[in-house]
Structure 1
Amino acid sequence: MKGPEVLPILKDEPWLEKYAAKIQNRFDKFQSAKKEIEQHSGSILEYARIHEFYGIHFEPLRNGWVYREWAPAADELYFFGDFNNWDRRSHPMKKNPRGDWEIFLPFDQYKDRFLHGSKVKVHVISPKNALDRIPVYIRRVVQDEKSHDFAGQLWFGEKFKWMDSEFSAANSFKQPLIYECHVGMAQEKLGIGTYKEFETEILPRIKKAGYNTIQLMAIMEHPYYGSFGYHVSNFFAPTSRFGTPEELKSLVDKAHEMGIAVIMDIVHSHAVKNVNEGINEFDGSDHQYFHPGPRGYHEGWDSKVFDYNKPEVQQFLLSNIRYWMEEFHIDGFRFDGVTSIMYLHHGLFMDFDNVDLYFDSNIDEEAILYLQLANSLIHQLQPNSLSIAEDVSGMPGLSRKIEDGGIGFDFRMAMGVPDYWIKTLKHKQDEEWDMFELWHQLSNRPIKERSIAYAESHDQALVGDKSLAFWLMDKEMYFSMSLLQQNLVVDRGIALHKMIRMITFSLGGEGYLNFIGNEFGHPEWVDFPREGNDWSYQYARRQWSLVDDPLLRYGQLGAWDKAMTSLGTKYQVLASKHAVQLYLDPNKKIIAYERANLIFVFSFHPTESFFGFPIHLPSPGSYKIILDSDEKAFGGFERLDKSVEYFTDKDQNLLLYLPNRTMLVLERQ
């Protein structure tokens, strides 16, 4: 009798053989859960429609509004708001044995009171307390300017007319060039930017810069602006700080018109612990949506941890995915905190230096099952969708298909790369840079697991750290970025900034990410208004005037970044196979490799230039420089002549002039 088929991941990665039983069990568990869902709901698509049952909906057949809530531990629920003059007792809800509460408001009776824009809450009485809460599935939440109190808001606006029926994210996702952005801090003004401003003022910049995907941060409603959107309170409500739901839809629609895909940060790793604004202890218990006791509390983030084993929680989170994809035409997600989701220790204080750690008793298999279900749903809803995992642990199979024995993400964030760059700039002199370590850090990844490479994201620029540009040039950026003056610190900083980004881009992954403004070397750090900075917006904005000023050198960095994305798009560099090393010299600080039939040569030497330097090439013939970082337009010294044609010699070597701190790209003619 023939045994079960060996999962592809075990064939491709022989070192996982020791864990074959656990990997197979993970796959079998998914298959079993999928079958159970299909028996219960017909399909995972139907399973992920619970948001169409709970919350506030108009029911044409009954001609009225129904509000439903799941709150099994609660004793009484009362619906109240503007429509009943905030009377906490006049509108009791009825409970069924499952723990669902419901109230119906006939249209004829409430048509003049239950209105678009009016505010609502639900009064929940439990054995523990009696509190006013925001409906869990509410679609919009607003904050009162005077009291600062949050409330749900009815939103019965006209149906948005989408114009993106012909848009497909397929081309973007062959090699995602992702522009990570925060709508609120995207403007130069000292204040919060809006969806509309982002659509009209920032999207054209992103298009011009050559990015094919935007990653929207902080879109799910969160009570504290300074949390960067990672302490979510209302999972089905796009934050009202930036505007209306229709204005967010317009932003997405406009991006699609420009050929730009839209993904969003989705925070299913934890939730804000706030009781007044969030879903914590909604029915009075500590274990409705979250694990009870200490397991339900995330010490590192001061937040609540979901119980992924509960069907009601699974449906809540999966329906949340479906909602964003269908209601707002989101093309995919970057899942925040995947390390925290997968491990009971949440990855805190862990080095992940032992393979056993991926399969030991600290793994939350129920959480991994949820991630598999989430990825299955995403790709069933939209085949041309994108799911990215933010994971620092290096979990094997994270970005492999479920049927291969993986967890189902399309890409994983190459989180070790930006950490490597920051540590290098912090702790090493230029002469000490290790070329072997650099090559290993950027190229060492599984052949069949795609990565998003990045030199820095929002994480590296938060208060307590600095952007790469600021690490490289620091205070000199305040005084010496003029084209009319020369400064050795700035010259070094600009040269290395370009090289760091290009080697990360061309060597580090199958996709690339840049944080808003960092492409032109945005100075300083990111700091949101808080008590510690007197509620200032000084560092929660982007100074576009710097890159727009023709007399400042920020424009040169912006031009380089555009040339880099243009090269990547034209030659599909990131969609190509892994790079093949051609040369590495640790003392001369030279690295050369081939990718996408292009030759990339980097000379990181801080002082020495090399003449007639031999690089052995895989194919003989003539070659020309198609891009080099030493061009004057990019802040270089114009030491290379792009009109020169280089011919391989009898040993198949190309003899090149390699100026210090310069990279060049050659193409065979």
Structure 2
Amino acid sequence: MAVRKSAKTPAKTTSKKPKPDTGWISELDCYLFGAGTHYDIYQKLGAHPMNWKGEDGIFFAVWAPHAAAVHLVGDFNGWNPDANPMKKISQLGIWEYFNPGMRVGELYKFAITTDTGKILYKADPFAFSAEYRPGTASVTADISGFAWSDHEWIAARSHTDMAKRPISIYEVHLGSWRKKDREEKDGCYTYIEAAHELAAYVREMGYTHVELMGIAEHPYDGSWGYQVTGYFAPTSRYGTPKEFMYFVNYLHKNGIGVILDWVPAHFPKDAHGLADFDGHPLYEYEDPKKGEHPDWGTRVFDYGKNEVKDFLISNALYWVEQYHVDGLRVDAVASMLYLDYGRQEGQWTPNRYGGNQNLEAIEFFKHLNTVVQGRNHGVMMIAEESTAWPGVTKHPQQDGLGFTFKWNMGWMHDFLEYMKLDPYFRKYSHNRMTFSLTYFTSENYILVLSHDEVVHLKCSMINKMPGLGEDKFSNLKAGYTFMLGHPGKKLLFMGQDFGQWHEWDEKKALDWYLADKDSHRSLQKYVRDLLHLYKKYPCLYSLDHDWNGFQWINANDGDRSIFSFIRRDETGKKSLLFVINFTPVPRPDYRVGVPKKCKYTLLLDQEHGAYKASQCPTYTSAKGECDGQPYSIAYPLGAYGTAIFRF
């Protein structure tokens, strides 16, 4: 073990709870942890500044039941694996140690002696902070005492039914959103710098939430944060835990919610991480047919082990309750639900009924979602579930998994396959755009165009579009308009709103200079107009999984590749009519059926974007059957034309 320089802070730690004579870890703590119901176990395991018998220091506790011995190592003892032995205090295998004089900001690890005599140097699974890569040590931290000022936001959230609220998510990778011209930490923005600029951009554009990739500590940039080694540590790439608290607090004060990507599906095999933590499989399944992801080269959490479930549930609660985040987007849910996910015949072990469902993971999700949302009303649990698993967003009492929302991966696939087609051939794939409207009420969906769709030679969103020059931008405007009108919450990855040409690269900042060029600026303004319109009209979000909120006018105009439909709110009085032309053929004599005799006010079209309130053109319906409706309006629909009418 190489000796590192200490990152000490000059000030003493803030005194916290005194350590009782009976031990910091009580019998009740051990019982609850062993039962999988100690939802605040992170307040006991890990590293905690405190005053014990008049001395300031750090109290350490770690779960390592197979270990023959555990020692605390760090700069304070020259990383000597024999100097500071920890004491085993329970049958569960919890070891504890109080280190007087140790301060916040110091590096440490656990030197775990296995039952074969080998010494493993492991980072703290419950550490609140971690060393900046490529270092792998944990860092003592005090996360208490932050002056939160988002009380109104949290109070309002607790009384909100998110299914009936507008949710438009801006998915962000902080390390590549923008960069500073400096060498320190690869020029990445700090949490505080990002808070100010990101909040300003998100407010201007009209997004309601940001979703952050890669916040939990991870060793490899190329994993984008999906191979985690520090589940309780905001990554040191962008700053300290309290600076991340500042980030969340600042966005809340600006009316913006914060969602984190969360990865309970698997973890990497890095030597300092969770894999074979005490010399044996501990956090992962012991059976390699369940405990290994062959495609990803990672380990799978053991969802049947109470202590592991407790680790994960308490971690979810930690981000929600200690950092005030508004939701967790749970990555790779399908890989958890299916025992044969990514495995060939003979590589997986069936469940006790002979099926491929992971019964332990199913029960884990029900437990997780019930606890997190039960303790934190209004917090969203979002599933990235790529199959047709039933009841993902149904309550566990209805045999559902209990998620708030599910990513609509089927819609995403069909939408992109349609949009990539030459407009001439779209008439042969018309059903790709209508199929999702046959099942949109089955779950609470989020329509996603995420980072996964603009990497690995998949092309950027603008480069997926057919044609040259302005045709690409016109296609994308039409596509985004359809996405806005389609039932479901919305998510766009950064760069998609101004037409980033290059595929996303986590090592490089977005090409923000493009937003100053005419075509890109026009696309960005158009997306901004759509997002602000979305928040203004409840018919676009209040009945997202209810047939009363959607009506086709014409779903069958495949020959012309035109779609027309209506969105309604709960009152039925403020409705919007959408008309979208997915070909470059203008239709100057276009007529669309409408349900009522009244004036139809044009709010937005592809050429102008959103009209000013005083300048909106109006069209009066004429009696006469059209598209199965008793009335119609005539409107000159342009090439790749879009139109949204209020009536």
- Calculate the TM-score normalised by the size of structure 2: 0.84
Looking at structure 1, the residues matched to 123 and 275 of structure 2 have their Cα atoms a distance apart, in angstroms, of 11
Residue deviations 1:560-601 (CA, integer Å, cap 9, x gap): 111111111111202234421111311011111010211101
Q: Which runs of 4+ in 1 moved over 4 A?
A: 40-46, 59-64, 347-350, 425-429
Q: Secondary structure at the match of 1:241?
A: coil
1:587 equivalenced with 2:566 (yes/no): no
Task: State the shift of 1:433 in Å.
Answer: 4.1
2:145 counterpart letter in structure 1: K
SS, match of residue 271 in structure 1: coil
Q: What's 1:27 paired with?
A: none
Q: CA deviation at 1:214?
A: 1.0
Choose the corresponding residue for 1:646, options 595, 620, 624: 620
Please state whether the residue corresponding to 1:368 is helix, strand or coil. Answer: helix
**Paired position in structure 1 for 2:495:** 517
The gaps in structure 1 that reach 5 residues or longer are 1-36, 351-356, 474-487, 529-536, 635-640
Contact residue 49 and residue 319 of structure 1 kept, 8 A: yes
Is 1:556–2:522 an aligned residue pair?
A: yes
Question: Match of 1:185, SS?
Answer: helix
Paired AA for residue 649 in structure 1: K
Aligned match for 1:565, one of 531, 536, 542: 531
Shift of 1:288: 4.0
Query: For residue 593 of structure 2, what is the aligned residue in structure 1?
Result: 616
SS in 2 for 1:432: helix
Q: Distance in 1 between matches of 2:620 and 2:144?
A: 63
State the partner residue of 2:201.
205
d(CA) in 2 for partners of 1:424 and 1:593? Answer: 18
User: Which residue identity lines up with residue 387 of structure 2 in the other structure?
Assistant: S
Q: SS where residue 115 of structure 1 aligns?
A: coil
When structure 1 is superposed on structure 2, of 427-436 and 595-604 the one drifting more is 427-436
Distance across 2 between alignment mates of 1:555 and 1:349: 48
CA deviations over 1:594-636 (Å, ceiling 9, x no partner): 10211101111222x22333322122222121111122789xx
Instruction: Indicate if the aligned counterparts of 2:594 and 2:621 stay in contact, CA closer than 8 A.
Output: no
What pairs with 1:425-464 in structure 2 (closer than 5 Å)? 425-426=419-420, 428-434=422-428, 436-454=430-448, 456-464=449-457
Q: Contact conserved, 1:591 with 1:602, CA < 8 A, in 2?
A: yes
The separation in 1 between residues aligned to 2:458 and 2:259, in whole angstroms, is 26
Q: Post-superposition shift, 1:452?
A: 0.2
Shift of 1:322: 1.1
Question: Does residue 175 of the first structure (1) align with residue 166 of the second (2)?
Answer: yes
Partner of 1:11: none
Change in 2 beyond 3 A, CA 1:499/1:252: same
Asked if the contact 1:263/1:330 (under 8 Å) is kept, the reply is yes
| Residue of structure 2 in register with 1:476 after alignment | none
After the TM superposition, which of the residue ranges 498-507 and 641-650 deviates more from structure 2?
Answer: 641-650
1:554 shift after superposition: 1.1
- Separation in structure 1 between the aligned mates of residue 379 and residue 609 of structure 2, nearest angstrom: 40
Paired position in structure 2 for 1:638: none
Deviations 1:106-147 (A, max 9, x none): 6xxx22xx1121111111111342121111111111136xxx
Query: Does residue 106 of structure 2 align to residue 118 of structure 1?
Result: yes
Tell me the equivalent position of 1:479: none
Distance 1:45 1:471 in 2: 47
Is the CA contact 1:343–1:364 (under 8 Å) kept in the aligned structure 2? Answer: yes
1:67 aligned counterpart, secondary structure: strand
How large is the Cα RMSD of the aligned pairs? 2.8
1:313 aligns with 2:308: yes
Give the Cα–Cα distance (whole angstroms) in 2 for the partners of residues 562 and 613 of structure 1. 27
How many equivalent pairs are there? 581
Answering whether residue 296 of structure 2 is matched by residue 301 of structure 1, we say yes
Match of 1:53 among 30, 39, 44: 44
Counterpart amino acid of residue 219 in structure 1: I
The alpha carbon displacement at 1:95 in A equals: 1.7
Distance 1:495 1:184, change over 3 A: same
Report the Cα distance in structure 2 between the residues aligned to 1:243 and 1:404, rounded to whole angstroms.
43
> What code does the residue aligned with 2:382 have?
I
Residues in 2 aligned to 1:433 and 1:85: alpha-carbon distance in whole angstroms:
71
Q: Offset at 1:434?
A: 4.1
Does the Cα contact within 8 Å between 2:596 and 2:621 map onto a contact in 1?
no
- 1:650: how far off? 3.7
Displacement of 1:497 in angstroms is 0.3
Whole-Å separation in 1 of the counterparts to 2:144 and 2:380: 29
* 3-state SS of paired residue (2:199): helix
Aligned equivalent of 1:491 = 470
Query: After superposition, where does 1:366-405 map in structure 2 within 5 Å?
Result: 366-405=360-399
- Contact 1:339-1:347 at 8 Å conserved across structures: no
Among candidates 207, 216, 228, match of residue 220 of structure 1: 216
User: What CA distance in whole angstroms lies between the structure 1 residues aligned with 2:35 and 2:576?
Assistant: 44
Counterparts of 1:445 and 1:406, CA distance in 2: 17
Structure 1 position 629 matched with structure 2 position 600? no
Aligned 8 A contact 2:284 2:291 in 1: no
Compared with structure 1, are the counterparts of its residues 552 and 96 closer, same or farther at alpha carbon in structure 2 (3 Å cutoff)? same
Change (3 A) 1:377 1:91: same
Task: Report the Cα offset of residue 188 of structure 1.
Answer: 4.3
Q: Partners of 1:89 and 1:264 in 2: how far apart?
A: 39
Please tell me the residue identity of whatever aligns with 2:597. P
Residues of 2 paired with 1:309 and 1:556: CA distance?
52
2:43 pairs with 1:76: no
Q: Secondary structure, in 3 states, of the residue corresponding to 1:57?
A: strand
1:246 matched to which residue of 2? Answer: 242
Three-state SS of the structure 2 residue aligned to 1:388 is: strand
The match for 2:120 is 131
Tell me the amino acid that sits aligned with residue 138 of structure 1. Answer: A
1:360, distance to aligned residue in structure 2 (A)? 7.3
Flag the 1:342–1:62 CA change in 2: closer, same or farther, 3 A. Answer: farther
Q: Which amino acid aligns with 2:96?
A: I
Aligned AA (1:401): H
Note if contact 1:435-1:590 (Cα within 8 Å) is conserved in structure 2: no
Contact (CA 8 Å) 2:149, 2:249: kept in 1 or not?
A: yes
Q: Deviations over 1:391-416 (max 9, x none)?
A: 11021100112222211011100112
- Change in CA separation of 1:158 and 1:319 when aligned onto 2, cut-off 3 Å: closer
- Amino acid aligned to 2:150: D
Name the counterpart of 1:156. Answer: 142
8 Å Cα contact 2:590-2:634 kept in structure 1: yes
Question: Taking structure 1 as reference, are residues 266 and 289 closer, same or farther at Cα in structure 2, changes over 3 Å only?
Answer: same
Q: Deviations over 1:215-253 (max 9, x none)?
A: 111001100011110011111111001111111111100
Looking at structure 1, the residues matched to 266 and 236 of structure 2 have their Cα atoms a distance apart, in angstroms, of 21
Asked if the contact 2:334/2:385 (under 8 Å) is kept, the reply is yes
Amino acid at match of 1:159: G
| Distance in 2 (alpha carbons) for counterparts of 1:434 and 1:575 | 33
SS for the counterpart of 2:588 is strand
Asked if 2 retains the 8 angstrom alpha-carbon contact of 1:73 and 1:99, the reply is: no
Change in CA separation of 1:62 and 1:394 when aligned onto 2, cut-off 3 Å: farther
Aligned 8 A contact 1:181 1:515 in 2: yes
